[in-house]
Structure 1
């Protein structure tokens, strides 16, 4: 462990970028529940040419060093769409962010957060939210509950000590995000089954699988519902076309038609549910690299995946239906159909729904109704600058 004086400097070279990526593997490698992301994926996230989020954002990366060796990292960034949000919905004018946070000790953590705050102040920002890495749609929040098991695909995992370090830097919790776990091998309660059966008798309702051969069309339908359904949520920033294009390229190999459903009411798409087999179960043994044979194992798995866990990262019902019984009925129908497919076709025994805002009463009620329980909590912190 380096013991010399601490310095913080901006990332400016290819070598710096490599060090920025690698420090996470050194600091987290001994955590049995950490899942090392593929290095190429991390490199793509911080590359403006490969991440559509940069079409409406800017970022500066920083490294903490002792004796010339990296001991931490952080990003400071501004999402210009967040600046246009009404403050009562979370962000708004003067809002900056930091994320991609890793630190060897509390002194490094404090210095890195200070560097991010100074950069944001220099850009005219008046408050900071973190950690958000990088987009609110990517890995928002710090894990504060659930350190005893590995995260599912596209979810973060952080050392428990980070919470104290961030709070000691003057940050207060702004919002909590929840994930729910459930045993998908079990039938849902009788009430839910009756709701599903009643929906099946309604000729106005059609629940259909996505058509992967028409991927762009289906993605556009889902994103239109999403941007409407989530528009009143805290922290909502609409997904832009460059982001949709990049996410589509990344997730297309994980798209299986029986795991992504669209609900139509009188022929109009009004709800959707996206479910992904837990890729992390396959990534964990690879330790962040597809070489020498990881790529072959991954490709073989993707042809006919078996996964213990399924994750529901996104679902939504158009805003005009959200206060109605129809919204719940459509949600329960999609959940049940995907539960059946997950068990029968992929060997799943476990499901995870999230993240869900802790004050999203509708989603929390649905989670309770299907006998799920909170297994992980993430906190987004804020501080005046």
Structure 2
């Protein structure tokens, strides 16, 4: 009986549970599919893998950066650069270089930018810093007559000076009698007065006063005429702001920096160069720190038996002594001269009432009347020379070359100062 009761009781429970399930289906028939779908989604998702992925993303963020780097914008300054050709340019994007009229010449900014070179010729205008002004057909030579002009417009109102680097400069030289540039000329107008030059001047430079404001364009003009001649020029135009430390002192057509260097008059050449007439300009050297004087010595002349590195007046086909001073007379410098303020030969014992020698000319470089060349010392500050020639050479002055002088600044502790 006891066993039969248990069996009957278990059967009754199963019957009740079956009825209970049936009644649930009948009462809420639409909830079963929804609950079943949620249950199946939970059973299929591996939440452990999701948590592992989140941990991995926290510890390995570069996986996301690899994707985002595709949309990163790279910027770089428009600084100076050197192109594949060796020319100086400005680093910029390809679109910017093209829109401003430049040409790409190599990469810069770690390959993100292009070195943009600005090169222009006759009849154009530019405000781009670092523009190269070249002859028509460059790099081929130019053999024609006419006028080739470039107008330089300030890139910014703060620009005070224009520096011209004569990277390539070969035009017809002066006539033989009075050394006047009457066939070809390079003329600078619109700034401070600049003497016209001609001949061979590769490696030289000029500083031009650009004035105040933005309405002061500077014009560079090559005038070619006369006989056939293979001309070639390439002039780099650099705009210098007023606030920069490399701005030249006022009144200096040429400006040199460094403890030592070399100065040359325009068209100087020991073989065939001729001193140009109608020259009048200042040559300045920046006084370096802890230097109180400067010493000048004529350059070596390996071409001629007798040096022509300093031949300013007289017939340089013959030996000519050094001439000094500004008075009239056969040993004075009344027409052509190089002014060295208060010059004295190195090692010379100064007399009690020593007078400062200023102008030096003749065919020997010395601060004394002498046939023996000497190193010349000056302690006048700032370090500045002045070169002057008139428009007459013949019949007294013949075949003068001009000058080539090496300089070296002297420290304040030097015993000669």
TM-score calculated relative to the size of structure 2 = 0.21
Larger Rg: 2
Write 1 or 2 for the structure with the bigger share of helix: 1
TM-score calculated relative to the size of structure 1 = 0.22
Greater RCO, CA 8 A, separation 6+: 1
